[in-house]
Amino acid sequence: MTATAPTRTDTAGGTPADVVAEAARRRTFAVISHPDAGKSTLTEALALHARVIGQAGAVHGKAGRRGTVSDWMDMERARGISITSAALQFSYRDTVINLLDTPGHADFSEDTYRVLTAVDAAVMLIDAAKGLEAQTMKLYAVCRHRGIPVITVVNKWDRPGMDALALMDEVADRTGLAPTPLTWPVGIAGDFRGVLDRRDGTYRHFTRTAGGATIAPEQVFSAEEALAREGDTWLRAVEESELLAETGAVHDQELFLAHASTPVLFASAVSNFGVGQLLDVLVGLAPAPVDRPDEDGKPRPLDAPFSGFVFKVQAGMDAGHRDRLAYLRVCSGVFERGMVVTNGRTGRPFATKYAQQVLGRERETIETAYPGDVVGLVNAAALGVGDTLYAGDPVIYPPITTFAPEHFAVARAADTSKYKQFRKGIETLGGEGVVQVLVSERRGDGAPVFAVVGPMQFEVASHRMEHEFGARITLEPLPYKIARITDRKSAPELATARDVEVLQRADGELLALFTNKWALQVLERNKPHLTLTPMVAAELG
């Protein structure tokens, strides 16, 4: 699983040719979708097909199936949904795969957005029965805005669902992307026999395994053999494929990379049908890492000295050690464990002695990493989301957007004797971005305000405060609905206004909270000199 070390030279990190060659072997992508479309199940199935794990398991699968590798939090296992993003790195053929599983629920959209800053492509899952849902559309929009090519997978084809051609029409009409199916289902939704591979005209027939826990056997038949085996069902698939060809629904790599089209595959992640084809498509079509622009828009070459940025911080993964893991996307050069790099935000050195490769909750020490790789830096208390780390020539990558919170509540320790644990937990959750933590002199440190995009974040914060830090909390909802960024010059005048409160976020930013849009509009109209800057909306684009 660990990448091959580069040829060593007098300069640490190998030659430029080594770096470029290793980067070309990387595929870094996110699995995204509306909730309950099967992201975590697909993530597990991909790892299974790459033979990283021996048996897959859905959260609410049949008896004997394990929990998914990527869903490791207690709440995730209990609810059967992804609450936090997870990273998995593994090898497939001669390619190193960096796969990032994301939360689907809109309440955790900020976490998904952070992950999308760190990938080169995305796999969008669509539920065959539900088609394009609200979060699906928002995620397509974000990928287009960020220039991320999208591969679309129609999942759950083994269950009753929509007509395949109707689904393609919906994708084209609602996303503006031209769907170009690479595989086409043989059998209607609910009668999934296999796929017609439109690239070579063969029939790939799948055979079910017990509970879908192991790789589904696959047989490849010629068109003539498929006709003899499936009869009219095969003929229908061929006719629909020919119709697609007549309308121009054929893959064009340039259009895909230009975000004008989306390759489509049909699959059943829970049965492991069509998952092998997706891995092959990712290796063959998904883009490798390229030079990444810094905050001034200047691309930093892949073979420049090491650089990368932190896109996620996660604590509580190892109950035995209470460590804090920072996920780093390598952007240029070679990362070597033990190297001392500079934190672009603080200008201070950071030692990378504890660097790990991640497979869900499981981790192992990693010695080297290349552009596209995701590295877990352990005990990274000095690192925050968006921090740039570099060696050699200084570089700062663009900051990661913070979403506008819409729900607010005062957090207090239920047991005052646990105040030390309370403060540690608040600091940790704020640093991870689980919630935005706001404070003010009026409220004091013992009553921080949690600001969140969606109310389920309150549940996660409360659960983790109690079970990870031993500090049960109470939450008192506040009436505020809107947040604006302000400054120290405007803060005193805002603090005297009705239905307004000014608090400070952990990063030093001042936020003015309003109970309703009318209170905001009155201030903007009557006192235009005040600084009230809108934050990025939580709708993901």
Q: Are 86 and 133 in contact (CB under 8 A)?
A: no
Q: Which of 174, 175, 180 is nearest to 145 (CA)?
A: 175
Q: Compute the distance between CA of residue 414 and CA of residue 472 in angstroms, rounded to an integer.
A: 6
Three-class secondary structure of residue 492 per DSSP:
helix
Q: Compute the distance between CA of residue 67 and CA of residue 79 in angstroms, rounded to an integer.
A: 12
Contacts 24+ apart (CB under 8 A), 111-114: 111/84, 111/85, 111/312, 111/433, 112/30, 112/32, 112/85, 112/139, 112/540, 113/142, 113/400, 113/401, 113/403, 113/540, 114/85, 114/311, 114/312, 114/385, 114/400, 114/433
Three-class secondary structure of residue 261 per DSSP:
strand
- Burial of residue 498 (number of CB atoms within 10 Å: 0-12, 13-18, 19+): exposed
Q: Compute the distance between CA of residue 321 and CA of residue 30 in angstroms, rounded to an integer.
A: 28
Q: How many Cβ atoms sit within 10 Å of the Cβ of residue 528?
A: 8
The b-or-e profile of 162-185 (16+ CB within 10 A means b, else e) is: bebeebbeebbeebebbbbbbbbb
> How many angstroms separate the Cα of 183 from the Cα of each of 136, 249, 271, 522?
21, 12, 17, 56
Q: Compute the distance between CA of residue 228 and CA of residue 15 in angstroms, rounded to an integer.
A: 55
Does 251 belong to an annotated binding site? no
The conformation of residue 37, written as its DSSP 8-state character, comes to S
Q: Compute the distance between CA of residue 517 and CA of residue 524 in angstroms, rounded to an integer.
A: 10
Does 104 belong to an annotated binding site? yes
Q: Cα 533 from chain centroid?
A: 27
Q: Which amino acid is at 500?
A: V
Does 103 belong to an annotated binding site? yes
Q: Which of 539, 505, 503, 533 is nearest to 520 (CA)?
A: 533
Q: What is the per-residue DSSP string for 180-248?
A: EESEEEES-TT---EEEETTT--EEEE---GGG-SPPPEEEE-HHHHHHHHTHHHHHHHHHHHHHHHTT
Q: Compute the distance between CA of residue 453 and CA of residue 113 in angstroms, rounded to an integer.
A: 13
Does 101 belong to an annotated binding site? yes
Q: Are 270 and 159 in contact (CB under 8 A)?
A: no
> How many angstroms separate the Cα of 53 from the Cα of each of 9, 57, 89?
36, 10, 12
Q: What are the helix and strand counts (H, E) for the chain?
A: 14, 31
Can you say which residues are annotated as belonging to the binding site?
A: 101-105
Can you say which residues are annotated as belonging to the binding site for GTP?
A: 101-105
